[in-house]
Amino acid sequence: MSEIDILSFGETMAMFVAEEPGDLASITRFHKRIAGADSNVAIGLSRLGFKVAWLSRVGADSLGRFVIDTLEKEGLDCRHVDIDIAHPTGFQLKSRTEDGSDPVVEYFRRGSAASHLSPQSIVPQLLNARHLHATGIPAALSASARQLSLELMTRMRDAGRSVSFDPNLRPSLWASTQQMVTETNRLAALAHWVLPGLSEGQLLTGFEDPADIAAFYLDQGVEAVAIKLGPHGAYYRTHQDQGFVAGVPVQAVVDTVGAGDGFAVGMISALLENHSFAEAVKRANWVGSRAVQSRGDMEGLPTRAEMSAELEAANASGLAPTQDRVPTQMPCGSEPARDKA
């Protein structure tokens, strides 16, 4: 049996978060955290008790040491994080918002150590993982990182492992929109479970309706699709079933960054525990709703004990999300493609 439940890969950056609202140019006080959609999901799954291996590169610098130390404290296996003596660890600045709006994020990642990921980073031990989670971000970083994504997803699927994919579109990292669409769909077709936001799915497929977006990927061999509809919830479709699962109401939105990563954590964890796809979407909505109520990209991701206790309380109070197996009207809403550089 594999010692690794889940393999995740990509770029973790250092993040400097403003301690007060305002233009980043005028802020003088920041605190340091880590950021990265791929590692957010890895951390969330680790908190739920899965053994997660992290494949990446960081610079031979203080930010790289900070990234590895933080990930290891979250329980990730970082033995396959390479130290790059020639290229730096990427970082970002993030504004503080008080009204629930999206924060401003400025990225300093071009030419980073992680952009030099390549298929040479793959070692046989990693391919023994039960599951691979991938996003479209590494593929946008460079040609070599894109080749790593293709090879990992192909080899894991060929080996009979389950593969999940979140497009996580980053338009500014691609040479053109057409390249982004072509390459992202190429990766999506290698996955079993595809998890786009509505606006992402519309851009990638050319269809407006969630059912048509899902059918586009199912026709390419994907087993199931869950489309995030923001606060409204999510639509899902498999070859046997389809439905809409309502979102989980929240008292206040503190930070929208990381909601989609929380959704992926809920989906993947539930499916690996053999829950139905509809039940997985319920958990995904709940984890996503929890993520937006905490400041930071991954601070709101729950532990196993927190999830069990809070979901039990929600079920007891009747506040758990409900599901319609065949939706009569599709709600509007989307998770916008965030433009990261």
Q: Let me know: does 188 contact 167? Beta carbons within 8 Å.
A: yes
- Per-residue tokens: 232: 């409204």
Cα 215 to Cα 219: distance, rounded to the nearest angstrom: 6
132: burial class by Cβ within 10 Å (0-12, 13-18, 19+)?
buried
Confirm whether 241 is a catalytic residue.
no
Triad 120, 43, 157: Cα angle to 5°: 45
Q: Give the active site residue among 261, 297, 324, 339.
A: 261
Residue 58: closest CA among 88, 28, 25: 88
> 258 Cβ partners below 8 Å, 6+ apart?
37, 40, 291, 292, 296, 297, 298, 300, 301
- Name residue 179's amino acid: Q
Cα 155 to Cα 41: distance, rounded to the nearest angstrom: 21
- Per-residue tokens: 9: 């890969």
- Per-residue tokens: 165: 């994919």
Instruction: Compute the CA torsion angle 15, 18, 23, 27 (nearest 10 deg).
Output: -110
Cα 306 to Cα 328: distance, rounded to the nearest angstrom: 34
> Annotated catalytic sites, by residue?
261
